[in-house]
Amino acid sequence: NAGVTQTPKFRVLKTGQSMTLLCAQDMNHEYMYWYRQDPGMGLRLIHYSVGEGTTAKGEVPDGYNVSRLKKQNFLLGLESAAPSQTSVYFCASSLQGVNAKNIQYFGAGTRLSVL
Amino acid sequence: GQNIDQPTEMTATEGAIVQINCTYQTSGFNGLFWYQQHAGEAPTFLSYNVLDGLEEKGRFSSFLSRSKGYSYLLLKELQMKDSASYLCAVRPMNSGGYQKVTFGTGTKLQVIP
């Protein structure tokens, strides 16, 4: 069982460069999320999606864009990377439904450094 | 919104019991999660409490008091592999749509021999 797979695992960018982080899940989950985790800040929600073709802003969306063209994939884009975007990025997915516990399953993370 | 508070760090001895507290203030509440995160790894689900009381799952138990906005995670018979960060997360009540979960900053537990 692959669960949630993120690529790449590590990346170093120069300021102003762009990149896309890929997230794939094989659990047929409706909901998918992108978080960033910084020391002392905890997990902060960047964007999320409640289904194929839909996305919404989270707590810290500025400087990021997302797309959910297929149910199993959720892409996070950085258009013009800044040093403030140096972080560990986690993708997660969960089942939908008001009565669902909404337990989130996380990928292994992408460690991004912007110089 | 939600405000979640948990201690930054704790140290406990192998074989002992440790209690990690979490307090929260929220405009609506629908449940509280505990996740474990080993250094350099992804968070993994431990427990979910909706109703008041204690839920036991092996060496780990989680307690919730909705009226006090308080939860704790109890780890018994500590093992070295329990050294990790423990994240408290709150799921709010809302009238419709997706209920965004808010995570605390986590408690880093170090288990020493």
Residue of B nearest to A88 (CA): B40
Give burial (CB, 10 Å; 0-12/13-18/19+) of A112: buried
A38-92 per-position pLDDT tens digit: 988 889 999 999 999 999 999 999 999 999 999 999 999 999 999 999 999 999 9
Asked if B48 and A58 come within 8 Å (Cβ–Cβ), the reply is no
How far does the CA of residue A37 sit from the closest CA of chain B (Å)? 9
B61-99 per-position pLDDT tens digit: 999 999 999 999 999 999 999 999 999 999 887 655 566
- State whether residue A50 sits within 8 Å of chain B by CB: yes
How far does the CA of residue A14 sit from the closest CA of chain B (Å)? 23
How far does the CA of residue B32 sit from the closest CA of chain A (Å)? 10
- State whether residue A102 sits within 8 Å of chain B by CB: yes
Residue of A nearest to B34 (CA): A103
- Closest residue by Cα to residue B26 from B107, B108, B100, B105: B100
Q: Encoding tokens for residue B56?
A: 């036991």
DSSP B1: -
How many residue pairs bridge chain A and chain B with CB atoms within 8 Å of each other? 44
What is the 3-class SS of chain B, one letter each residue? CEEEECCCEEEEECCCCEEEEEEEEECCCCEEEEEEECCCCCCEEEEEECCCEEEEECCEEEEEECCCCEEEEEECCCCHHHCEEEEEEEECCCCCCCCCCEECCCEEEEEEC
- Closest residue by Cα to residue B91 from A103, A36, A106: A103
* CB contact at 8 A, A3 and A106: no
B20-64 per-position pLDDT tens digit: 999 999 877 889 999 999 999 999 999 999 999 999 999 999 999
